[in-house]
Structure 1
Amino acid sequence: MYIGHIEVEPGVRLHVQDLGEGEPVVLLPGFGMAHETWDGTVQRLTAAGYRAICVDPRGHGLSDRPLSGYDVPRLAQDVAAVLDALGIASATIVGWSFSGQVGFQLAATAPERVRQLVLVCSNAVRTTRSEEFPFGLPASSLLPTLLEGELNGRMTSRREGIANAFASPPDPHLLEWLTTLSMRMPSWAGAAVCVALMETDLVAHVPRVRQPVLQLIGADDKIFSLKGARWLNERLHDATLVPLEGCGHYPMLERPDVFFDALHKFLSRTVHRPAEQVTSG
């Protein structure tokens, strides 16, 4: 068991919660969220014989909040640095929402570190519309509003964003708790992550991701498109798409049993099979 901080570059430490024994499963939270949102998943994973490792990305949760380093490649390097510090050669990476992009980047550029990838409510390659990825709205129509909210109305913007992402209105206590978690992320980190979320383009990485991929997405997710998830599914080497009915952007909280059953089924099928030889080229 380990709960503490790991330095990923000079002066930047990430909060890491490492519990259980067995095959390692790394859980990365969505925008503004932290390790606490994985509480129920950690309980189930460790009971099922897995090692559950929750990492708060820089700027999130109990991790350090530097002024820079919020681009997707740097965040993927941070995850690799955590694996190095824990002595883990490769692991299952579970990336929720924005962290799906981080997990996808790591799977494409350091495939030896990612045994398999789970994308939770994430289209991974893009959040916004492009010529190649015709889903969602253009970044130019979304980013100014997001930045205005982060810099001049962070509490209201975060709270409304969280509430609107559920399939049905969340319990007020749950909304208050999630907003409190989100407010740990300061405005400079939030603004930088918004830019990364809206402008990152990983479409060119699709052929490089050869690992087994599980795509779990809420059928009523208002943040990431089910159509976009299907687009990605058709282009990946080995991908399974599981839409979660009656679920929005918070499946581990909205439908925890259904969410974990799908995750566990995937892990049980893939985690003990011989790793495929993959390259980054």
Structure 2
Amino acid sequence: MKKWIFSIFVTAIVGIAIFFVESDKHVSVKEHHRADPADRFHEGQTGITRYRVSGEGKTVILIHAFNGYLESWDPNVSELVKAGFKVVTYDLWGRGLSDRPLINYELADFRIQLREIVELSGGGSVYLVGASFGSVVAADYALHYPDQVKKVVFIGPAGWPGDTGNEDAFLALPFFPDMIFGLFGRQIIEPIVEAYLHDPKAHQWAIDRWSEYASLPSFGRVALLTMRNSPVRDYTEGWSAFGSLNKPNIFIWGKQDISFPVENSIKAKLLVPNTKLIEVEDAAHWVNIENPRIVNGAIIDFFGL
């Protein structure tokens, strides 16, 4: 019994140490990982963002998921470029090789980052594609800059509340969740990421790449703060406001999605009545990875040339 209590005590001390070390500094991680020659790094008002630009034509900006990263769009970029688009991908704050700044990770923080990406892409009109939480970022950006955004594609969109009472109560606790995520953030989230894929073994590269980035400093802090302060699980008001905007859009949903199940499309059609729904078989949350042929074709057809 004494050994058990001692182990808990040591774990708590380590967690406290990690929490204070990670919570009081801006972390830049690009030196922790060998960058690809195609990578570009922009130092903006909040920190350094990694991004890539491919092709020429209409500007299409791809915004990855909560647990995504720039390379999660690899199954899509080349086909969009072949179709005549300029494709821009980037890492959201705290993901991939973008900085882990000392911010609250509110939706406004991601909007400011996307604004800088739009400016880096040449400004003017853009076409947005969001995956999961990236869909929330895309919708929010369209609401704040409606004249800039021509059309939007939402892939496996987040922001549909379910039975999350216990999760919300846990996240609202002071200090304890910070310690747990500081110690075990990667281990907590890894099975969630695996469930993003209907057939994880067929796309092991996506999980392995996530694991690489999740091993970099401050991963747990960023994940926790984003869940606490951004509408990852409940963007109902935002979806309703976007629906009122009457901006051309489509939803693409994996029929085996267990993160935000396709049944949420019923709510989507009510809140965004001018939308079109595309359901994809044999695909879970990361639809663009599991069935890029359908996703790429839908994007190309919808955006046109």
Normalising by structure 1, report the TM-score. 0.83
Check whether the contact 2:51–2:90 (CA below 8 A) recurs between aligned residues.
yes
**Could you tell me whether the CA contact under 8 Å between 2:129 and 2:152 is conserved in 1?**
yes
What's the CA shift string for 1:197-245, capped at 9, x where partnerless?
A: 2465524523443211110110110111322223222332531110111
Structure 1 regions of 5+ residues with no counterpart? 129-135, 273-281
Contact 1:95–1:119, Cα closer than 8 Å, also in 2: yes
Structure 1's consecutive aligned runs of 4 or more residues displaced over 6 angstroms after TM superposition are: none
Structure 1: distance between partners of 2:168 and 2:183: 14
Larger Rg: 2
CA gap of 1:188–1:119, structure 2 versus 1, over 3 A, is same
Supply the distance in 1 between the matched residues of 2:277 and 2:170 (Cα, whole angstroms).
31
Displacement of 1:142 after TM fit? 2.4
Indicate the RMSD between aligned Cα atoms, in angstroms.
Answer: 2.4
Residue 141 in structure 1 maps to residue 166 in structure 2: yes
- Please state how far the C-alpha of 1:95 moved relative to its aligned partner: 0.9
Confirm whether residue 177 of structure 1 aligns to residue 209 of structure 2: yes
The alpha-carbon deviation at position 8 of structure 1 amounts to 3.3
The total of aligned residue pairs comes to 258
1:1-281 superposed matches below 5 A: 3-9=39-45, 11-123=46-158, 126-128=159-161, 136-138=162-164, 140-143=165-168, 147=177, 150-171=181-202, 173-174=204-205, 175-184=207-216, 186-195=219-228, 196=230, 197-198=232-233, 200=235, 201-236=237-272, 238-268=274-304, 272=305
More helix by proportion, 1 or 2?
Answer: 2
Quote the Cα distance in structure 1 between the aligned partners of 2:271 and 2:234: 21
* TM-score normalised by the chain length of structure 2: 0.77
Q: Name the CA distance, whole Å, in 1 between partners of 2:203 and 2:155.
A: 24
Q: Quote the Cα distance in structure 1 between the aligned partners of 2:61 and 2:203.
A: 29
Structure 2: unaligned runs, 5 residues or longer: 1-36, 172-176
The sequence identity of aligned pairs, in percent, is: 19
Q: Counterpart of 1:214 in structure 2: which amino acid?
A: I
The 1:208/1:77 distance shift into structure 2, 3 A limit, reads: farther
Partner Cα distance (2:87, 2:267) in 1: 30
Go from structure 1 to structure 2 and tell me whether the alpha carbon gap of 1:120 and 1:150 turns closer, same or farther (over 3 Å shift). farther
Contact kept? 2:153, 2:249, Cα under 8 Å = yes
Corresponding residue of 1:277: none
